[in-house]
């Protein structure tokens, strides 16, 4: 029987996937075809949504950019007549359940994303058919907690939430901690702008995360767990709720799980969107019903966490790795990556990149490989300028360092951090000063306010950056930004404050000339900061079509039809509508 999979993660739904699914459902029913239709999570190729995969005679045919009005032709020609619609395929046909044969997928190694886009995330039976819950059964029946902890120490798996702390070692500390009750927490409070790794995993393969949590709980001796997930992720929450209910019905959660003497339950806690609650002590406070504010460490959560009990916290991607490592072994996982950064990493590719989406790659791959080989390079053939890694807590890495290998320690040496895996690609139209302002504005707003340097210091830095982008920068501003940034890093209590200056400090480090141009020359080299722009009409190119004058909202452009037009610089509000409207490139920004 033929099978059709429709990618209905958040990206697929926003691109119109639900309408495509309903149209397929209607056509299959009307024409009485023997076809299984199901929804999956994100397949990773977000730039090609809506994605529809047809499994036919042992082969996979992946249709991209599907719309409801294309469905009839695919049904009539492919499903009914057996002739694929070649011009709509995203890649040549491959064997069923193989990765599409295109540049985006061929450079990947999918461990975390192994089931995303393949199984129905709302079906526990499909997860079980793909070796689901096999790892936890093996763990309970044949391994001690100490053996499981040692397995993960040998695997080299480091926490994928940003800090990169060794997972096995973290579990060991929680295992050794004294306490009559222990907790395990999944941090799904993904708050970085441009990051969507955890959301896609939860939407596409929630059972893998639950199974990873079960194994982690067994290792440390926890009987209860929480998934702290952003309320802004309604689809992820819905699929988690479904998965937990299915596990409870099958006896995988609750009392005597998997017919053992172990009791284990998982609850969902929806966060209200505070970025600071991604920090583990603030997250714990939020679960306890308190304001999400970090506390001083030590004591660390492994010894005194949720409600004062020993607690282990890992993020979504970390837990999704766990079952695969149990089934395949520490050596198989450690075979990927570098000496100190083992395994794979999921990146959310966003920004000025040709192919946006989710890519899971072996650690040690270069930035250039991700941007050009997998991501297809820069949109509109513009010049690659930099990548912002680690979100607001990360930093900018310039294009000339594109051969740098993706490795926790190598990235940290640049002044950026790996973070949870957001990778925003920047081109030559991006102003690095304005980019730093954008990220600092975010972290300044998200500061809990507990630390003076984070609360006030970040505000002072933001004010300086705003002045610079308005053409009001002064001599000494760069040095003041560096001084404030260093003091905030040294004096803040939690990771938010300690990393908030990173975007500013790294852009100064690698793009100091842009700051100097803004301050000394009152010029934005990227032609991005509106206050520093001047628009003028190029006489040789102007045809006098009057379109720019008609678009100007303040009548700052004068000129008769078929004569040279002129922009009154004093009246111009620098909105850029004339620049966008001109079809002859006669309006330029200087």
97-101, 234-238, 317-321, 331-335: which has the minimum mean pLDDT? 97-101
Separation of first and last alpha carbons in the chain: 62
134-138, 149-153, 365-369, 414-418: which has the minimum mean pLDDT? 414-418
What residue ranges of the chain are covered by domains with CATH 3.30.70.20?
533-589
Helix or strand (DSSP H, E) at 359: strand 357-362
Predicted local confidence at residue 183, as pLDDT: 98
Tokens of 32: 């009485």
What residue ranges of the chain are covered by domains with CATH 3.40.50.11540?
124-332
| Cβ-based neighbour number of residue 231 at 10 Å | 11
Tokens of 206: 């929630």
Band the pLDDT of 194: cuts 50, 70, 90. Answer: confident
CA angle 34, 35, 36 (to 5 degrees): 130
Tokens of 48: 């090609």
The answer, yes or no, to whether the previous bond of 509 is cis (omega within 30 of 0) is no
What residue ranges of the chain are covered by domains with CATH 1.20.1440.230?
432-520
CATH 1.20.1440.230 fits 432-520, yes or no: yes
CB 301 within 8 A of CB 280: yes
When the pLDDT of each residue in the chain is averaged and rounded to a whole number, the result is 95
* CATH class of the domain whose range is 124-332: alpha beta
CB 548 within 8 A of CB 582: yes
Percent of all residues in the chain with a pLDDT value above 70, rounded to a whole number? 100
Strands (E), 384-449: 384-389, 395-398, 422-427
Distance of CA 442 to the CA centre of its chain: 16
pTM of this prediction?
Answer: 0.93
Going from the C-alpha of 200 to that of each of 45, 210, 234, 264, the distances in angstroms are 12, 15, 12, 25
Q: Cα(463)–Cα(32) distance, rounded to whole angstroms?
A: 65
Q: Cα(202)–Cα(350) distance, rounded to whole angstroms?
A: 19
Distance of CA 191 to the CA centre of its chain: 9
Q: Which CATH architecture has domain 2-102?
A: 3-Layer(aba) Sandwich (3.40)
CATH 3.30.70.20 fits 533-589, yes or no: yes
Judged against a pLDDT cut of 90, whether residue 162 lies above it is answered with no
Given 1.20.1260.10, 3.10.20.600, 3.40.1000.10, 2.60.40.10, which CATH number is that of 344-427?
3.10.20.600
Judged against a pLDDT cut of 80, whether residue 24 lies above it is answered with yes
Q: Three-state SS for 473? A: coil
Contacts of 509 (CB under 8 A, 6+ apart): 415
Rounded mean pLDDT of 566-589? Answer: 93
What residue ranges of the chain are covered by domains with CATH 3.40.30.10?
2-102
Closest alpha carbon to 49 in 18, 74, 93: 18
Q: Three-state SS for 443? A: helix
Q: Cα(211)–Cα(115) distance, rounded to whole angstroms?
A: 14
pLDDT tens digits, 231-270: 999 999 999 999 999 999 999 999 999 999 999 999 999 9
Residues constituting the chain: 590
Rounded mean pLDDT of 332-356? Answer: 96
Helix or strand (DSSP H, E) at 227: strand 224-230
pLDDT tens digits, 76-85: 999 999 999 9
Band the pLDDT of 92: cuts 50, 70, 90. Answer: confident
What residue ranges of the chain are covered by domains with CATH 3.10.20.600?
344-427
Q: Cα(340)–Cα(149) distance, rounded to whole angstroms?
A: 18
């Amino acid at each position: 029987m033929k099978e059709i999979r429709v990618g209905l993660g958040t990206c697929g739904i926003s691109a119109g996937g639900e309408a495509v699914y309903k149209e397929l459902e209607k056509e299959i029913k009307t024409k009485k075809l023997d076809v299984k239709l199901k929804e999956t999570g994100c397949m990773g190729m977000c730039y090609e949504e809506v994605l529809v995969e047809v499994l036919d005679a042992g082969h996979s045919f992946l249709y991209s950019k599907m719309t409801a009005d294309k469905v009839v032709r695919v049904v009539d020609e492919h499903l009914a007549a057996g002739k694929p619609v070649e011009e709509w395929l995203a890649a040549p046909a491959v064997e069923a359940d193989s990765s599409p044969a295109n540049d985006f997928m061929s450079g990947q190694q999918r461990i975390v994303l192994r089931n995303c886009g393949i199984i129905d995330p709302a079906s526990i039976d499909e997860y079980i058919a793909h070796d689901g819950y096999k790892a936890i059964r093996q763990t309970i029946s044949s391994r001690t907690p100490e053996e499981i902890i040692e397995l993960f120490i040998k695997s080299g798996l480091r926490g994928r939430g940003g800090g990169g702390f060794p997972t096995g070692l973290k579990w060991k500390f929680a295992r050794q901690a004294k306490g009559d009750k222990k907790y395990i927490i999944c941090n799904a409070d993904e708050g970085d702008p441009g990051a969507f790794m955890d959301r896609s995993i939860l939407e596409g393969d929630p059972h893998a995360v639950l199974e990873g949590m079960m194994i982690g709980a067994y290792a440390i001796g926890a009987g209860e767990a929480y998934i702290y997930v952003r309320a802004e992720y309604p689809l992820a929450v819905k699929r988690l709720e479904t998965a937990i209910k299915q596990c409870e019905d099958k006896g995988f959660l609750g009392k005597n799980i998997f017919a053992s003497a172990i009791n284990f339950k998982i609850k969902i806690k929806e966060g209200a969107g505070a970025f600071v609650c991604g920090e583990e002590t603030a997250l714990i406070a939020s679960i306890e019903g308190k304001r999400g504010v970090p506390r001083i460490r030590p004591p660390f959560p492994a010894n005194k966490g949720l409600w004062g009990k020993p607690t282990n916290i890992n993020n979504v991607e970390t837990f999704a790795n766990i079952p695969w490592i149990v089934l395949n072994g520490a050596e198989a996982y450690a075979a990927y990556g570098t000496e100190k950064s083992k395994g794979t990493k999921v990146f959310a590719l966003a920004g000025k990149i040709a192919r946006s989406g989710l890519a899971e790659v072996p650690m040690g791959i270069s930035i250039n490989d991700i941007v050009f080989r997998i991501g297809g390079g820069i949109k509109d053939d513009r010049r690659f300028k930099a990548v912002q890694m680690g979100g607001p807590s990360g930093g900018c890495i310039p294009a000339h360092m594109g051969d740098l290998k993706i490795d926790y320690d190598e990235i940290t040496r640049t002044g950026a951090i790996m973070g949870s895996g957001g990778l925003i690609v920047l081109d030559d139209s991006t102003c690095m000063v304005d980019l730093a302002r954008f990220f600092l504005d975010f972290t300044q707003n998200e500061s809990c306010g507990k630390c003076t340097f984070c609360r006030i210091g970040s505000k002072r830095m933001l004010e300086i950056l705003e002045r610079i982008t308005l053409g009001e920068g002064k001599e000494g501003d760069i040095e003041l930004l560096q001084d404030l940034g260093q003091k905030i890093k040294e004096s803040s209590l939690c990771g938010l404050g300690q990393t908030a200056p990173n975007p500013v400090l790294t852009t100064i480090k690698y793009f100091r000339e842009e700051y100097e141009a803004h301050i000394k020359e009152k010029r934005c080299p990227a032609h991005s900061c509106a206050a520093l722009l001047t628009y003028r009409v190029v006489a040789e190119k102007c045809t006098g079509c009057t379109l720019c004058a008609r678009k100007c909202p303040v009548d700052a452009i004068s000129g008769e039809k078929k004569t040279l037009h002129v922009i009154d610089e004093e009246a111009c509000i620098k909105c850029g509508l004339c620049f966008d409207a001109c079809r002859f490139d006669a309006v330029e920004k200087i």
